Amino acid sequence: MDEQLFFKKLNSLCTSKEIFDFLSSLEVMSDTMASGALQRISEVEVDDNGLKDPEGVLENEVFRALCFQFEFESSKLSNTGLLNALQALIKLRIDPQSTLMASLLSEGEERLGKGQLTVKNLCALGESLLELEGPSCVVLEQIVNHMQEKDVEKWSPREMVMVYKILEVTVKEGEKYQDLLNRMNIVTLTIVSQLSPKFTSIILNSLVVLHQTQAVPLVTALCKHSVKHIPHFTGDELVNVLEAFLYFGHREQIFTEALETHVPKAIFAMHPQIVSKVMQYCCQKMILSKPIFDAVAEGFISDADRFTTDQIAECIIPFGTLNYLPPSASSLFRKLETVLHTRFSHFQPHTLVNLLHSCVLIQRYPVNFLPKIFSPYFLQQIQAQPPGLDRIVTSQLTQLFLTVTLECPFYEGPKLLPKYQVKASLTPHSSLDVHLLKRVKTGLLYLLKKRIYFASEVSTPYFYTVDIEIKLDEEGFVLPAAQCEEVHRRIALCVDGQNRFCVNSHNLLGEEAIKQRHLQLLGYEVVQIPFFEIESLQNCRKMADYLHKKIFPHTYGLSC
């Protein structure tokens, strides 16, 4: 029978019985046809749980005859017949230690040693060895060495993907095979538009594993290409893509928009790992996506028990970090409180501190759990686990304690011992925009005439640093910044650059929002100077007029 007709007929058959009946009707077939038949059997008989009908397949006379021929005539097989059969038998869960598998593997490795395998053959053998022996297989390195001699430009997308996968496990030293990788990265850039969701995800994952930080054009192209595949990625594939975005520091507006369309539709079917990875992506990139956050809140309320403790933290912390309460906030935090009550001891200590700290950023007060957090036993637990009581943790604990002191006067539980408190906050996202501060100071100098009338970056006794402080006496006159007597009012100017806001948004980050709230409770008059209100002010005079209206809205002139 003509091979083309054979494969057309074979691919129309949907059960192993139909395939075996068809094969029985043939007097003769090539090894390529026989291996193709094994592959088709593996396609129709294997699902996620393995072989559907082991006895019906493995005990079938036609199947046994095929296996006998492959075992005892392996040296006469074509490369394609040999390696396709090997792949199909692996998928059919044939014992790797059997004489059949040993015979096929031995023949494949012998031909590899003689340099008789094409790129397609090398990829098929590599895929089989990865499946059978895993990353520790020494023959994989031989395959890569042969690949180095081949013309990368002639490889198919499937072959390119397979070589990336093999390189993931064979590249152990820094620069080894980097020349091959450079050639692959250049050629892959030209075929990005042809890549399926699966291949896109695999290559992005390989670039992360292989630390290809210099392959910026390829990473950018793959990230853009991944946008159209978002509805079609499997869960694991989407996780790989998100991890690549995070690893390479990439952000793509159209990717976020595609997630905003996909996540609300799929949220109730999405695996918690994907949900938490999407939230991690939004949090690290400072993207406040209300459609995503609202959907995640609904998904968590609906089925929080599916989430591990780490996944719970990864889903909830971004709400605090990006200072956002969804419409379902009351239900969301009631559900979180229930989860904490039932699974408190399952959370890692550092994870708990992160989680509870994020809650207070958005005025959700975990007062029922603070006695445990402030207890010496819990603090010793934190100290015993890396990174211990480092500056970040002590800063979070101090802010938790300051929050209940200022915002929860009814709290009567244990206090945080002074030895665990820090004097100054550590806010990595809210660092001061020095250029913006300089512009504001120049405008203030124009307004107040002398530099002595304001101080910048003032450390307070209350944990926070004030960007600019102005002191007034009882009659509203500005006092020299160094003066401590007769101070009736203190004005705290918060010079908020872009890095204190969510990306492309006027929404303050949680760290800055709580600071301004607390400064107000500590007696300061807080005046916010956001970047978007002053970026268009071209000269000192305009800046001074703006500051006059902001700081002294009820005065027409100033006497200092």
Residue 337 neighbours by CB under 8 Å, 6+ apart: 366, 368
User: What distance in Å separates the CA atoms of residue 123 and residue 160, rounded to the nearest whole number?
Assistant: 9
Residues of the chain with confidence (pLDDT) below 50: 558-560
Q: Can you tell me which residue has the tokens 């072989």? A: 51
Q: Do 457 and 532 fall into the same domain?
A: yes
pLDDT attached to residue 560: 41
Count of CA atoms in the C-beta half-sphere (13 A) of 39: 18
What is d(CA 510, CA 499) in angstroms, rounded to the nearest whole number?
A: 12
Residue with tokens 């229930």: 338
| Tokens coding 444 | 């203030």
Q: Is residue 237 part of a domain?
A: yes
From residue 308, alpha-carbon distances to 244, 275, 292, 311 in Å are 23, 12, 20, 5
- For residues 157 and 112, state if they share a domain: no
Query: What DSSP element (H or E) covers 51?
Result: strand 50-51
Whether 261 maps to a domain, the answer reads no
Report how far residue 287's alpha carbon sits from residue 256's, in angstroms, rounded to the nearest whole number.
8
Residue 334 lies in a domain: no
| Alpha-helical runs (H) found in 304-433 | 309-321, 329-343, 349-361, 370-373, 376-384, 391-407
Helices (H), 115-252: 119-133, 139-147, 157-170, 178-191, 197-209, 216-226, 235-247
Other CB atoms within a 10 A radius of the CB of residue 278 amount to: 26
What are 127-178's pLDDT values in tens digits?
Answer: 999 999 888 888 999 999 999 999 999 999 999 999 999 999 888 665 678 9
Same domain, 2 and 85: yes
Domain match, 441 and 508 both:
yes
* Dist. CA 546–CA 501, nearest whole Å: 21
CA–CA gap between residue 304 and residue 315 (Å, rounded) = 10
- Return the structure tokens found at 419: 């030895």
In a domain, 445, yes or no: yes
User: Is 215 a member of any domain?
Assistant: yes
Judged by phi (left if over 0) then psi (alpha if -120 to 50, else beta), residue 234 lies in beta
Domain end point (choices 250, 265, 294): 250
Q: Are residues 6 and 75 in the same domain?
A: yes
CA distances from residue 279 to 253, 276, 313, 332, 467 in whole angstroms, order as listed: 15, 5, 10, 15, 31
Parent domain of 106: 1-116
Query: Same domain, yes or no, for 175 and 105?
Result: no
Q: How many CB atoms lie within 10 A of CB 193?
A: 8
402 is a domain residue: no
Read off the DSSP letter of residue 415: P
Final residue before a domain boundary, out of 116, 134, 169: 116
CATH number at residue 546: 3.40.960
Verify that 478 and 547 share a domain, yes or no: yes
Residues 14 and 72 both lie in one domain:
yes
> Are 320 and 361 spatial neighbours (Cβ–Cβ below 8 Å)?
yes
User: What is the largest distance, in Å, between two alpha-carbon atoms of the chain?
Assistant: 109
Tell whether 338 is covered by a domain: no
Number of domains in the chain: 3
Task: Name every residue whose Cβ is closer than 8 Å to that of residue 42 and which is 6 or more positions away in sequence.
Answer: 88, 91, 92
Quick check: is 527 in a domain?
Answer: yes
Round to whole Å and give the CA distance between 46 and 57.
11
Model pTM score:
0.87
Regarding whether 178 and 94 lie in a shared domain, the answer is: no
Q: Distance (Å, rounded) from C-alpha 17 to C-alpha 68?
A: 19
pLDDT digits (tens, 9 = 90+) for 270-281: 999 999 999 999
Per-residue pLDDT at 559: 44
Q: Please say which residue of 227, 250, 273 terminates a domain.
A: 250
Cα 170 to Cα 3, 48, 138, 176, 220: the distances in Å are: 37, 28, 9, 9, 25
